[in-house]
Amino acid sequence: MPDSPQHWRSAPDSQNRDILAAIRQLDAADDAQLRWLLGFLGDLVYGDGGRMHGATVRTRPIGFEAWFAAFDRTLHQPSDPLLRQVALQYRAMSDCAGALQSRTRERITPAEFDRFADAVVHYHGSLRALERALIHEACMADPLTGVWNRSSLTDRLGAERDRVQRHGGPCSLSMMDLDHFKDVNDRHGHAAGDHVLRAVVDVAKQHLRRYDLIFRYGGEEFLFCMPNISAPEARNAMDRIREDIAALRLALPDGGAISITASFGVAEMDTHHPIEASIERADRALLTAKSCGRNQVRIWSFAASAPHTGSNWIANASPEGV
């Protein structure tokens, strides 16, 4: 990612931009569908050429296929099944419209019109369901960095905990905190601080898999969830992220540059306790990393796992923190 100052106020992560664009496209498609419906009903009532503007009967909203193809490329789970439902309802509505069009020289029966009306209602309902899902998904993302926000954490980590309970295998959590981040805001301003946060998230994404989860836990603190990864493996992954963050040189408008480091705490998810207990373990390992000099990775030790007493919350690592 370019480090020039003009990128400091860049838009959030591309996935979040795509979701917001998809919501706008959906609103436009809904408006177009309503205009088509009114025109189509007018054609049925007045017949070909009988309307004021002489519009021809159409069984499909103009441009719908092009919109649908573009819209499909923007979507991300969990909305894709809803998009398929929109497609099915659209085809059903079009089929009913075609059946009515073929009857324009004959009397349309109440049953035929009712089938068309039901298809329109179901199509409109599927559009609304898709829009609600997209709005929910957009609300679960941090607008600055594009990663998941804290509001989405409980549900998503709870789902991962359920998966581990069913299928076994490890799952590791890591808490990351940027060292002395307040100094960046105080010395260089919040625009520079925002640029640092986005750059750090970009570094993390380069080392994580597509199904790993990143949450902005609060301020400059982030939580990573890494399925099927043991604590030692997660420690190695976090240490690669740590090294690349330390190597960042982010340009300042005055010609200087910002450098920053990060500290990490790692803990494996414990499915026998609430998810908050595993997060607390990662957080306590992070506190150890901070108190031992920062810019290092520490693992919460299960060797002394009798919980809830201060001396038993231990984080261990090599002297170098890796």
Asked if 99 and 160 sit in the same domain, the reply is no
Higher pLDDT, 104 or 23: 23
> Reduced to 3 DSSP states, what percent helix, strand and coil does the chain have, rounded to the nearest 5?
55, 15, 30
Asked if 119 and 152 sit in the same domain, the reply is no
Asked if 198 and 228 sit in the same domain, the reply is yes
Pick the closest to residue 211 from 258, 250, 156 (CA basis): 156
Domain boundary among 139, 172, 194: 139
Higher pLDDT, 236 or 54: 236
* Torsion of Cα atoms, 306 then 307 then 312 then 318, to 10°: 90
DSSP sequence for 85-151: HHHHHHHHHHHHHHHHHTTTTSPPPHHHHHHHHHHHHHHHHHHHHHHHHHHHHHHTB-TTT-SEEGG
| Percentage of the chain exceeding pLDDT 70 | 77
Give tens-digit pLDDT for 141-190: 888 898 899 888 888 899 999 999 998 899 999 999 999 999 999 999 99
Asked if 161 and 286 sit in the same domain, the reply is yes
Asked if 204 and 184 sit in the same domain, the reply is yes
Residue 47: predicted pLDDT: 65
Per the CB < 8 A criterion, the answer to whether 174 and 186 are in contact is no
- Which residues have CB under 8 Å from 192's CB, separation 6+? 8, 184, 185, 250, 252, 258
What's the domain range around 200? 148-316
Give domain status of residue 5, yes or no: no
Domain boundary among 121, 139, 157: 139
The per-residue pLDDT of the chain, averaged, comes to 80
Maximum mean pLDDT: which of 4-18, 48-62, 87-101: 87-101
Asked if 156 and 39 sit in the same domain, the reply is no
Residue 309: predicted pLDDT: 37
Residue 32: predicted pLDDT: 77
Asked if 263 and 241 sit in the same domain, the reply is yes
Structural domains of the chain, count = 2
Asked if 174 and 304 sit in the same domain, the reply is yes
Domain boundary among 89, 119, 139: 139
Residue 51: predicted pLDDT: 45
Residue 135: predicted pLDDT: 77
**Mean of the pLDDT values across residues 260-274?**
95
Give domain status of residue 321, yes or no: no
Higher pLDDT, 50 or 192: 192
Residue 40: predicted pLDDT: 82
| Bridge partners of residue 268, in order along the sequence | 172
Give domain status of residue 3, yes or no: no
Give tens-digit pLDDT for 205-224: 999 998 899 999 999 999 99
Asked if 198 and 283 sit in the same domain, the reply is yes
Name the pLDDT band for 25 (thresholds 50, 70, 90). confident
Q: Residue 166's domain is classified under what CATH number? A: 3.30.70.270
Distance CA 170, CA 146 (A): 27
Residue 173: predicted pLDDT: 97
Give tens-digit pLDDT for 54-81: 444 455 655 556 666 666 555 544 456 7
Give domain status of residue 34, yes or no: yes
Give domain status of residue 310, yes or no: yes
Q: DSSP letter at 141?
A: B
